[in-house]
A = this chain, B = another copy of it.
């Protein structure tokens, strides 16, 4: 092809793109030398050298000076992404608790705050608990709201584009709550509300049971059962935010499956409805016949809806998560057996490794995704907390 005219605009665009390429390479790995960064990015060494120095000046990177241990020649300095340039908060507003995590831009959690809430608590009580954990986590970390780059909150029920659960929420009165509006009094940064199952799915792929997979069906199993779907590596919300709500269909039996546990003969009268399932799982583990039958029936029923998702999406991995994942030892094998009967191709069935923290961790991941999205589309200014668009 003929020679080509390169204008000043073209060059400035190239510089910006190359700087972002280097930031991205820095984020994903341990401190790197200019030579390593040049190899990773495909850019020339001289170009990377100039960019890296610019990133240090701009506040995006720090220099790691070489130690005295090097043997030959002058050892190369390394550059590290400055993860403490900003922080994010991830919250799980669940049926029984509110849990908040604070992390730096690498996703390393530095502070945690938790408060119990009664399952039948109204919206005011739940919002008060949320406010308390947020105040506590800022206080304990010595941060102010201005230090936070994104806040993400997980709630039960499908979340629409406005961040509300208008279609349906099992938390009493919660469908009327406007969480983004509530939080915007305190935080000027982006606020993202998302469904709990979807967040837990994100977390399991980020640092849990499915970190090797791009096609994941995540099951949040408890007295309610929901699903979060990751397809080709991306969390799928659906057109109206209601993807994963297959449990609403009677024919797939998720609605009634937990009743086998709740109504199991022999559950002592002193055990409340919220704890009946745990009692049954324990009794089944100890060999109680009624309890084992209840668990078998429970698994057969959740297998129907799970098979529907597996047949629809053909995932690599099914992750069994949520409160009941504590009893994955009793569920995984029979679930895999049922799926083998019902499906054309049976995926790996694995237990969640994140347990009760998965929703809050997924909220952190979503907050970090939002920070990245802004970083890599808005271009590189000096690191400051982004404001809502």
Contact = CB atoms under 8 A, between A and B. Distances in A.
Interface of A: 1-7, 9-11, 13-15, 18-19, 42-44, 46-47, 49-51, 53-54, 57-58, 158, 167-168, 214-215, 227, 229, 231-232, 234, 236-249, 251-253, 304, 307-309, 311-316, 342-345, 347, 380
B239 A311 contact: no
B5 A249 contact: no
A251 B251 contact: yes
B308 A312 contact: yes
A241 B54 CA distance: 46
A53 B54 CA distance: 38
A246 B312 contact: yes
A246 B311 contact: yes
A6 B238 contact: no
A304 B53 contact: no
A239 B4 contact: no
A103 to B, nearest CB: 27
B14 A10 contact: yes
A5 B246 contact: no
A132 B108 CA distance: 63
Contacts of A18: 4, 10
Contact of A10 (B9, B47, B247): B47
A3 B19 CA distance: 12
A343 B314 CA distance: 22
Nearest to A53: B2
Q: Which 8 A-B pairs have the closest CB atoms?
A: A238-B314, A1-B54, A5-B46, A7-B44, A239-B316, A242-B314, A243-B314, A215-B239
Contacts of A245: 311-312, 314, 344
Contacts of A57: 1-2
A43 B9 CA distance: 8
A14 B6 contact: yes
Copies of this chain = 2
B242 A231 contact: no
A231 B240 contact: no
Contacts of A2: 50, 53-54, 57
A135 to B, nearest CB: 35
A51 B3 CA distance: 9
Given A3-B50, A46-B5, A236 B240 contact: no
Given A1-B54, A2-B54, A344-B242, A7 B47 contact: yes
Nearest to A253: B251
Contacts of A168: 344
Contacts of A10: 14, 18, 43-44, 47
A90 to B, nearest CB: 24
A311 B249 contact: yes
Contacts of A380: 1
B46 A7 contact: yes
Contacts of A227: 312
Given A245-B314, A249-B307, A252-B308, 19 more contacts: A1-B54, A1-B58, A2-B54, A4-B15, A7-B47, A158-B345, A168-B344, A239-B314, A239-B316, A239-B347, A242-B311, A242-B314, A242-B344, A242-B345, A243-B314, A245-B344, A249-B308, A251-B252, A309-B312
Nearest to A343: B248
A226 to B, nearest CB: 11
A102 to B, nearest CB: 30
A347 to B, nearest CB: 7
Nearest to A316: B239
22 contacts: A1-B54, A4-B15, A4-B18, A4-B47, A5-B46, A5-B50, A229-B313, A231-B236, A232-B234, A232-B236, A238-B315, A239-B347, A240-B345, A243-B313, A244-B312, A245-B311, A246-B308, A246-B311, A248-B342, A251-B252, A252-B252, A308-B312
